Chains A and B, each alone.
Chain A
Amino acid sequence: MLAYTLRRLWQFVPTLAGVVLLVFFLFNWVGGDPAYLLAGKIPNPETIANIRKQLGVDEPYAVQLWIFVKQVLSGDFGVSWSTNERVSEIFASRLGPSLTVLVPLLAISTLLGMAAAMLVAYVRGSLTDRAVMVACTVGQSISILVYILVFQYLLAYQLGWFPVQGWGVTFIDNLLRYAVLAIIVGVAVSLAPDIRLYRTFFLDEINQDYVRTARAKGLSERRVMWVHVLRNAAIPIVTNVLLQLPGLLAGAFLIERFFGIPGIGREVILAVERSDFPIIKAVTVYVAVATMVINLLADLLYKAIDPRVVLK
């Protein structure tokens, strides 16, 4: 196990190098000259030159790349182009709100998804099964934007059950008042794809020979499903949940943006809208590292819960 972990960590290096190169290629090369963007309405050559000097984009590419690499290794990405806050400080403060929404969201949608998927898999082929599947398909075909707009309008604006936007001070206040609507929308959006995916996992297991053996032993259907099938299906489900995490971190940005939750996602959207390159670069690198670490954790977890797995 230790040898495997070390080998995987060692493999991080070329991938991270690739990510750094990709980000550099996108933002420093393709990205064009940000000086014009920031110079304001009257770009006189002196101002432009000054800004370029400040940002460091007047240096040759090799030097810029070296500067970026140093930033990555030290974790200090400089300051935001729009707010002048230190980038690393921005993240530290934004992580909390993001997790306050994400963790309950993940937990609730997984549990609901699993329960629904197991029930549907059990009555496979019946009208209920087909109806639920079609409902899921329809649910997935509505853009997340619509969910956000409609839920916000109906539940917050019209009915006033939740605040339309905003964030509070204490953790409990946030969790129980401000995050609720965001979590509801998030669960509504993830439920359909989760049910479809988990249903496949359950079906794969239900059709296996060992289920037939369990029935041949005279075990009740309840036990067959809840002990034998669930234990096997849990393996891909749990690893899947873990792997969703990096995507959620960045993907919840729409939810955060519209509900005014000061999380990482919202920061990213604002940065993109303002062409605030240091933030976008830093997020990309941070999330890439997080993804690689989470992938490794998922593989180790897989090994822990599936006795058959031999890590090579």
Chain B
Amino acid sequence: MRQAGVWGLAWKRFRRDRLGFTSLIVVLFYAALVLAAAAGWLARDWNTEAGVSFAPPSFLGPEAADSPQLAKAAEGAQPVADYGIPDPLAADLAEIAKSMTGGAAGQSRAPTLPLGGDKWGRDVLKKVVKGTETSLVVGLAAAVLATFLGTVFGALAGFRGGAVDDFFNWLYSVFTAIPYLLLVLAVAAVIGQKGVLTVILILGLTGWTGIFRLVRAEYLKHKVREYVLAADAIGASPARRMFVHILPNVSHVVLVQLSLHVVLFIKSEVILTFLGFGVGVDTVSWGSMLAEAGSELLLGKWWQLTVATVAMALLVTAFSLFTDAMRDALDPRLK
């Protein structure tokens, strides 16, 4: 099987870019994580209040907890040994302390969690895994929707020209007259309800404009190229020229745009959820984690903020570097 086709050559070039290749590995790792989370193998119980309120990360140890005395009392340790006389109220104190640190009857709550806990004691590690699932699913699905719309509109407008082009250009100018985030917020405000599907639709139906402009420009450029004229000369129909001839030559642009929009939509979803318009309360996303982090920071609890930020930064950086490497590998000046 000869690998001399454009994709084969691009793959070879891509492999040589170590940074890009590493980024791909990271992205695939995240993807695997998401699949596991979606299938329920990981982080299914993220919502359970497994730890004490604001449980610190394990590597910091329970000393980082809010009030050491309370914690000690909850464990039943004798706070002060006063001249050997046992404290008659010790047992009662222990009971009260236990209830204050959230230890319900019978249930023991962990004093620390691997990456810390939030206000309700939920495991941050599990939340971030589940949050990855939300963000990646939303980002990908919305990007696919936007890319599909943008490509079809762009192909029609660029190739057909005339009234079709005028219509799509008008649509484009209307959508781009309103700055992106404002448009998204306006739509979100109107729809009112939250949820993953809603977010995907909002982002996908408003985010097609960039792709449209690029695909249209590509079609305008290719329409007059000799290989398309040659296809016309041998009798190829317009539809055939649009999708069998030109589209494969434009696919690398589309792919790069898809990738860029995944990043854009992940960031947009985070902002939307942060403001309260994104996914619902029963779904965790990096946005909701950051929303909680705002007030936590004032109390000196930095772990949820850090974990969410690092997880997001790592994925987005890897995705961006991967996109750059892909774009370099697919450079059509190869031919």
Direct A–B contact present (CB less than 8 angstroms): yes
- For window 1-43 of A, CB contacts with B under 8 Å fall at 14-16, 18-19, 22-23, 26-27, 30-32
Interchain CB contact under 8 A, A22 and B174: yes
A149 to B178, CA, bound (A): 27
Interchain CB contact under 8 A, B271 and A143: yes
Interchain CB contact under 8 A, A250 and B275: no
Interface-side segment among A61-69, A106-114, A287-295: A287-295
Given contacts A26-B186, A141-B320, A268-B185, contact A15 B275 (CB under 8 A): no
Q: Which of the listed residues A140, A145, A146, A272 has the most CB atoms from chain B within 10 Å of its own CB? A: A145
Interchain CB contact under 8 A, B179 and A249: yes
- For window 133-179 of A, CB contacts with B under 8 Å fall at 134, 137-138, 140-146, 149-150, 153, 157
> Does A283 have its Cβ within 8 Å of any Cβ on chain B?
yes
Chain A residue nearest to B293 in the complex (CB) = A149
B173, B276, B298, B305: the one contacting A273 at CB < 8 Å is B276
Which A residues are in CB contact (< 8 Å) with B171? 18
User: What is the minimal beta-carbon distance from A99 to any residue of chain B, in angstroms?
Assistant: 16
Interchain CB contact under 8 A, A143 and B177: no
Which B residues are in CB contact (< 8 Å) with A18? 170-171, 173-174, 177
A289 to B173, CA, bound (A): 11
Q: Which of the listed residues A22, A246, A269 has the most CB atoms from chain B within 10 Å of its own CB? A: A22
Interchain CB contact under 8 A, B290 and A15: no
A269 to B186, CA, bound (A): 10
A150 to B310, CA, bound (A): 13
Number of A-B pairs, beta carbon distance below 8 Å = 124
| Chain B residues within 8 Å of chain A by Cβ, number | 47
Which B residues are in CB contact (< 8 Å) with A19? 174, 177-178
User: What is the minimal beta-carbon distance from B181 to any residue of chain A, in angstroms?
Assistant: 5
Q: Which of the listed residues A19, A146, A153, A253 has the most CB atoms from chain B within 10 Å of its own CB? A: A146
> Does A247 have its Cβ within 8 Å of any Cβ on chain B?
yes
User: What is the minimal beta-carbon distance from B306 to any residue of chain A, in angstroms?
Assistant: 9
Interchain CB contact under 8 A, A145 and B186: no
Which A residues are in CB contact (< 8 Å) with B174? 15, 18-19, 22
What secondary structure prevails in chain B residues at the interface with A? helix
Interchain CB contact under 8 A, B187 and A149: no
> Does A251 have its Cβ within 8 Å of any Cβ on chain B?
yes
Interchain CB contact under 8 A, A143 and B270: yes
Given contacts A143-B271, A157-B298, A273-B276, contact A288 B189 (CB under 8 A): no
A254 to B268, CA, bound (A): 12
Q: Which of the listed residues B175, B181, B270 has the most CB atoms from chain A within 10 Å of its own CB? A: B181
> Does A275 have its Cβ within 8 Å of any Cβ on chain B?
yes
A280 to B176, CA, bound (A): 17
Q: Which of the listed residues A137, A249, A268, A280 has the most CB atoms from chain B within 10 Å of its own CB? A: A137
> Does A232 have its Cβ within 8 Å of any Cβ on chain B?
no
A141, A150, A287, A289: the one contacting B179 at CB < 8 Å is A287
User: What is the minimal beta-carbon distance from B186 to any residue of chain A, in angstroms?
Assistant: 6
> Does A284 have its Cβ within 8 Å of any Cβ on chain B?
yes
Interchain CB contact under 8 A, B190 and A146: no
B267, B275, B317: the one contacting A269 at CB < 8 Å is B275
Mask for B150-177, Cβ within 8 A of A = 1, else 0? Answer: 0000000000000000000011011111
Interchain CB contact under 8 A, B181 and A250: yes
Listed by A's residue number, 26 A-B pairs whose Cβ atoms lie within 8 Å are: A15-B170, A15-B177, A22-B175, A22-B178, A27-B186, A32-B190, A137-B317, A137-B320, A141-B263, A141-B313, A143-B286, A145-B290, A149-B297, A150-B305, A247-B179, A247-B180, A247-B181, A250-B182, A251-B181, A251-B182, A273-B276, A280-B189, A283-B182, A291-B176, A292-B173, A292-B177
Known pairs A14-B170, A32-B190; list 8 more (Cβ under 8 Å): A18-B174, A18-B177, A137-B320, A141-B320, A143-B271, A143-B312, A145-B271, A246-B179
